[in-house]
Structure 1
Amino acid sequence: MTILADANPALGYVPPARAGKVHPVDEVLPIGQLAAYGFQHVLAFYAGAVLVPIIIAGALNLDQQQLIHLINADLFTCGIASLLQAVGVWKIGVRLPLLQGVTFTAVSPMIAIGLTAGGGTPGLLAIYGSVLVAGVFTFLVAGHFAKLVRFFPPVVTGSVILIIGIALLPVAANDIVMGKGPNAIQNPVMLKNIAYALGTLALIVAIQRISTGFMATVAVLAGLVIGTLVAWILGDAHFGEVAKADWVGYTMPFYFGMPTFSITAILSMIIVMIITMVETTGDVYATGEIVKKRIRQDDIGRAIRADGLATFIGGVFNSFPYTCFAENVGLVRLTQIKSRWVVAAAAVIMIILGSLPKAAAIVAGIPHPVLGGAALAMFAAVAVVGIQTLSKVDFNNHANIVIVSTSVGLGMLVTAQPFVADAFPPWAQIMFGSGITLGAVAAIGLNIVFNHLGAGHATVVAGRPGDHAVTLADVNAMSSAAFSKTFGGLVENTPWVLERAYAMKPFADTIALRTAFHDALLTGSAEEQLQLMNSFADLGSEGDADNAYRLDHVNAGIDGLDAEDQGHVLELARAYRKHFAFPLIVCAREVERYERVLANGWSRMANSPGVERAAGLIEIAKIANYRFDDLVANANPIAAAHIERFVQHPA
């Protein structure tokens, strides 16, 4: 029997060979596959990788040769940074398929630092001084920061990412108009520039609409290539520097000179790196979920140490702050190629590209309007990521509304009117000269004030503020009877739903409270679900004037029909109940006209009872959602001034 057990894993014993099976993250693929998949990562990454040095060079008025060196330095250091993160050494690097690139968070602050120092090479040297110190700071605090993740919930990270995306859009717009003011807008050259930008943007959108899979991930790169080709054919893209550039070169440390150090610039860059740590933390958790690998606190510390060391190396080799590139996290999800050695292969390819000045010269020849059109798509996409993150936030808690609105407002103030910084002393101008920095500091500070200091900001979920208001803490302390009296109107006072929702206490926020009712609906037996459905009145019936379901339809404008239309609705309701033995349930808030109710209801008569029961439960969940929103809106009139009030009538 022992022999059989050893030979048959189904009997419960796992042979030693299988017990030591390599995790997909650590799997070393054949050389050909590593090269192919690695090059795919480079293609998806390339446009974003070179965008930052191009933007910085344009803002600081650097010449073409300086731009070529910046691009080479960026690619070269990206390769080193990615090797640190994916391969790892000592306690540095999370050892996941994460590609490193220059963070867009730093663009606006770096431009502010550079221009404050006078632009050109002096501006670069001020940037590199702040990058060096910020890199050391990040490396040293990595382990401590990993313990502070609770101070950066989605309300903070979402606000910061949204601000980053919106604050960078003017940079793209400036590239499109080539820095010209409104007086030049009718100039034929200006109109051509706008045409290049909009054409590039249209190409990117078209590729993403028509293509699927890998091609969609390189839509920005394809748009840049095609837009540049069109500009070259029309004589507006010039590549004279390509012939002058060497075939092979190397990135020299401190190529532009020894960095200069400014306290205000350093503080600004440290704030950028704190934001970058939050970004990296999110990317690590996202990648861990994709590759099915548990992420621990130590993993976050190793990932951030890699960012810190890569940023310090960037300051030495004439590059900028580094973070995990979200675009390539998406590519891992898309391809399901989980090996970190694929990213290592991509890193080697980038180091090679960073040693080819001619390749950088070609990239440097991309016309600014074409680049601006692509940048519009990329920066707006960053803002969308922020919106997606904010979708996880409980906005029934008024404190979260204050955090997001105030931080975004401050960020946009400085972005729209950058001269505001001139009103402050020099030490504060770096902070107030960057919408990203000011908005991020505001989001972090307000989150601490509202959610971590003192007793906190109570979330009111029922009643009226200051007048028997029911807070989330009150709900968690309620008896079953009080819970049923407060929330019974959500589900027609059906006892079993209320009992099971109550059993899911405590509720962390209003989202958890809402989810409890959804989950409770799914746990009911067939008989219980039928009881719930039969608690709803028939459509079109006079019934109880105070029936909540009837009031839903009155408030939606579906009730109050003339006699003929009322008769049609009642005829459908009676036929439906006779056929299925439960009422036709329709969420009134999602119906535009009663004719749709009739058409949809009669068509559903051909469905099986099981399908209709499931459809009815879905409609009940929608109705409960809207009633819950109304209940919270009554309790929080400032947060939802225009939501119709839900009138609750407990049994």
Structure 2
Amino acid sequence: MRAVDECEDGPREGKPSPEKRSQSAAGLCIIKAPIRSDVAARSQKLRNYRYLARRPTWLSYAVEERPPAPTLLVLGLQHAGLAIMFMIYPVVVAQELGLTSAETSGLLASSLLAIAIATLLQSRQPPMGSGELAVLIPTPVMLPAMIQAGSIGGVGLIASMTFILGLLESGLARILHRLRRLLPPEVCGVVVFMLGVSLASPALIRFTGGTLEPLHRTSVDHQHLAVAGATLATMVLVAIFGRGALKLFALVFGLLVGTGLCLLLGLFEPMASERLAAASILGLPSLALPTWKFELVLLPLFALMAIVNSVDNLGVLVSIQRLNDADWKRMHLRSASGGLQANAVGNMSAGALGGSAMGVSSAHVGLSFASGATSRVIALAAGILLLLAVFMPKVVTALALIPPPVIGAIMVYTSAYMMVSGMDLILSRMLSERRIFTVGLSILLGLSVVLLPGVYDNLPPWLAPLFRSELAVAALAAIGLNLLFRIGIAQQASLPVPMQVDAYEFAQSFLGRQGDIWGARREVIGRAAHAAAETLETLREHGLAEHEIELGARFDEFNLDVVFRWRGRPLETPAERPDFDAIMDDDQSFARLAGFLIRRYADRMTQRSEGESQRLTLHFEH
């Protein structure tokens, strides 16, 4: 006899029905799409996933639903406006490279046009688009690599390497299913942490207004430091103490405070007001198509950054998928691959136009949650509005004139956020000795670039640019050490359970140890250990197992199976809860109740009986 049973997780709490408008004390508001009365009846098969998704009850407009035109316009304006605020990152690159105001305006216009194209593509169904509300922004992930390329060959080299970045990302999107094993969370965490470290030096220089020289640093510009400190304090305070939608616009408030102080203290560049006044409200963009340059020595660095940027985008795309599916358990590869392809086309467009590298925005995921609308048509509206912004030279000029102290504060804010995000990723799984050394040695090797200047100067010329970047050294070390330390890790294990041992202590010890070795998620191991202990107790208390029970576990990156083998009677696991009166009168009914509860712990359950040999498998999605 063989029976296969499946069960879902227990009830999930949905977000409370949103009000039509959420307003902060400062008067900033997020327009929320109105809740319609037929929410429960609109679960539908999402064509881009090819699976039946359960629609979250708190959504006003799900991914395949079209809001009315006025609501669509307001929602699109919110997303387009937030994206324009992140045009600060190309300004960072321009100021680091010492570009003129005209060159900065050209970089911004090209970046805005490429972002509009990619956002429009994201609204399409796979394979060229995620079919989701995914908005693109210039990504801070690529800042160190872009600055390094620009310092070697100017905007022409940035453009060519950004185009190559897009080509590499397109190739990675086709082998998406293989990336997860190569880049587990601790490796991704090291990369994100070192991204923050690599931004720290230029961020602190701009924050303090000082300059770095080989043996000393000049005195700090106190006006510069005061403006940067006020800008950073504003962003931090809004992020910590802001309520609802206000938290999403921490960068905007910091930008406004810093710019206002610069106006009062006269820290804008000369002729800035004249340039802004001279720029027309509407007009053709000042695109400066680049003359491509190419440096073979930068290819390894940008190949590595293509992996890093793809992993970062995958994390955001998964967050978007979770908003649209109340029963989400794992990444839907077709939609994610389409999202990476759209991002790749955006980076190739940026390379052709002379713009900045881009990525999917996590801030816009928060905006979608706050507004209660994830319709992919909103991405279409936002993309069109961003396209229109390209033809507004005054907007582009204003972005190009953001003063250095404000840039420094935003860079410090970004650096700190990335370092903590990297730590969070590293600690998202249980750390064994293998993972501790993978993380620790990788970070130390990355810091060696900063702590031991010149240590890699004698490397071959084609390797030198890669080893001038602390980020690249740490990422290569983390990937290599992860592959090396995987040698000898068994992906399955089992132990007999002595009859007198405490079931809870044994299950926690066995699964905790194996989860530590395999690097499983803590919450999954916790669920599995609780279910295993309950199962062992039930088999013993109701005399179902005649001898010792064997407890085993199998693991891969996607699944954890807990397996019980014993000789005796099978465990009954009914789909319906036994009647209360029957439970009180009949011991077998009580055993069936225990079986009913056990099947609710797991995502899926399989039971096989062959004579007196029993096998029960509890499956957990990972």
TM-score exceeds 0.5: yes
Which residue is equivalent to 2:250?
219
Contact 2:159 2:290 in 1 (8 A): no
Matches of 2:380 and 2:484 in 1, distance apart? 42
Contact 1:86 1:341 in 2 (8 A): yes
List aligned pairs for 1:32-431, cutoff 5 A. 32-47=70-85, 49-88=86-125, 91-117=127-153, 123-178=154-209, 180-181=211-212, 185-186=218-219, 190-237=221-268, 238-251=272-285, 255-292=288-325, 295-395=331-431, 397-415=432-450, 419-420=454-455, 422-431=457-466
Matches of 1:412 and 1:252 in 2, distance apart? 40
CA-CA distance at 1:86 after TM superposition: 2.4
User: Over residues 295-329 of structure 1, what are the superposed CA-to-partner deviations in whole Å (9 max), with x where a residue is unaligned?
Assistant: 42222321221121111001011112222112222
Matches of 1:513 and 1:405 in 2, distance apart? 24
CA-CA distance at 1:480 after TM superposition: 0.4
Cα 1:56/1:63, change in 2 over 3 Å: same
Matches of 2:420 and 2:506 in 1, distance apart? 39
Q: SS at the partner of 1:478?
A: strand
Contact 1:109 1:430 in 2 (8 A): no
Contact 1:167 1:412 in 2 (8 A): no
Q: SS at the partner of 1:40?
A: helix
Matches of 2:185 and 2:437 in 1, distance apart? 14
User: Over residues 234-283 of structure 1, what are the superposed CA-to-partner deviations in whole Å (9 max), with x where a residue is unaligned?
Assistant: 22224332123343344576x25320112122332121111111112222
Which residue is equivalent to 2:497?
480
Matches of 2:495 and 2:509 in 1, distance apart? 9
The letter for the 2-side match of 1:56 is: V
Q: SS at the partner of 2:175?
A: helix
User: Over residues 482-508 of structure 1, what are the superposed CA-to-partner deviations in whole Å (9 max), with x where a residue is unaligned?
Assistant: 9x7xxxxxxxx6x34347658979954
CA-CA distance at 1:374 after TM superposition: 2.2
Structure 1, unmatched stretches of 5+, are 1-13, 118-122, 459-471, 485-492, 530-651
Contact 2:301 2:472 in 1 (8 A): yes
Query: Which structure has greater helix proportion?
Result: 1
Q: SS at the partner of 1:477?
A: strand
Which residue is equivalent to 2:3?
none
Cα 1:308/1:478, change in 2 over 3 Å: same
Contact 2:121 2:128 in 1 (8 A): yes
CA-CA distance at 1:125 after TM superposition: 0.5
Contact 2:159 2:351 in 1 (8 A): yes
Alignment pair present for 1:497 and 2:515: no
The letter for the 2-side match of 1:497 is: Y
CA-CA distance at 1:212 after TM superposition: 0.6
Contact 2:193 2:418 in 1 (8 A): yes
Cα 1:423/1:112, change in 2 over 3 Å: farther
Matches of 2:532 and 2:250 in 1, distance apart? 44
Cα 1:500/1:272, change in 2 over 3 Å: closer
CA-CA distance at 1:340 after TM superposition: 1.8
Match for 2:69 among 31, 52, 67? Answer: 31
Instruction: Work out which of the two has the higher radius of gyration on C-alpha atoms and give 1 or 2.
Output: 1
Aligned-pair RMSD on alpha carbons? 3.2
The letter for the 2-side match of 1:229 is: G
Q: More displaced, 96-105 or 220-229? A: 96-105
User: Over residues 67-125 of structure 1, what are the superposed CA-to-partner deviations in whole Å (9 max), with x where a residue is unaligned?
Assistant: 1121122122111111112234x6211111111122222111121122123xxxxx110
User: Over residues 26-54 of structure 1, what are the superposed CA-to-partner deviations in whole Å (9 max), with x where a residue is unaligned?
Assistant: 1111222222222222343333x222211
Matches of 1:18 and 1:130 in 2, distance apart? 45
Matches of 1:259 and 1:42 in 2, distance apart? 30
Q: More displaced, 424-433 or 509-518? A: 509-518
Q: More displaced, 201-210 or 244-253? A: 244-253
CA-CA distance at 1:199 after TM superposition: 0.8
Cα 1:20/1:296, change in 2 over 3 Å: closer
Cα 1:136/1:19, change in 2 over 3 Å: closer
Q: SS at the partner of 2:137?
A: strand
Matches of 1:523 and 1:358 in 2, distance apart? 68
Which residue is equivalent to 2:483?
448
Which residue is equivalent to 2:620?
none
The letter for the 1-side match of 2:495 is: M
CA-CA distance at 1:137 after TM superposition: 2.5
Q: SS at the partner of 1:355?
A: coil
Structure 2, unmatched stretches of 5+, are 1-37, 47-54, 56-61, 542-622
Matches of 2:429 and 2:360 in 1, distance apart? 24
User: Over residues 593-613 of structure 1, what are the superposed CA-to-partner deviations in whole Å (9 max), with x where a residue is unaligned?
Assistant: xxxxxxxxxxxxxxxxxxxxx
Matches of 2:429 and 2:43 in 1, distance apart? 41
Contact 1:113 1:430 in 2 (8 A): no
Q: Whose RCO is larger (CA < 8 A, sep 6+)?
A: 2
User: Over residues 501-535 of structure 1, what are the superposed CA-to-partner deviations in whole Å (9 max), with x where a residue is unaligned?
Assistant: 58979954464666555556788999x99xxxxxx
Cα 1:104/1:524, change in 2 over 3 Å: same
Matches of 2:533 and 2:183 in 1, distance apart? 33
Q: SS at the partner of 2:132?
A: coil
Which residue is equivalent to 1:583?
none
Cα 1:73/1:524, change in 2 over 3 Å: same
Matches of 2:453 and 2:513 in 1, distance apart? 46
Contact 1:81 1:322 in 2 (8 A): no
Contact 2:96 2:147 in 1 (8 A): yes
Q: SS at the partner of 1:479?
A: strand
The letter for the 2-side match of 1:315 is: G
Which residue is equivalent to 1:596?
none
The letter for the 1-side match of 2:200 is: L
Contact 2:173 2:338 in 1 (8 A): yes
Matches of 2:237 and 2:314 in 1, distance apart? 33
CA-CA distance at 1:408 after TM superposition: 1.6
Cα 1:75/1:270, change in 2 over 3 Å: same
Contact 2:289 2:352 in 1 (8 A): no
Cα 1:362/1:415, change in 2 over 3 Å: farther
Cα 1:505/1:66, change in 2 over 3 Å: closer
Matches of 1:505 and 1:158 in 2, distance apart? 22
The letter for the 2-side match of 1:145 is: L
The letter for the 1-side match of 2:132 is: L
Query: Which structure has greater strand proportion?
Result: 2
Matches of 1:230 and 1:354 in 2, distance apart? 28
The letter for the 2-side match of 1:437 is: A
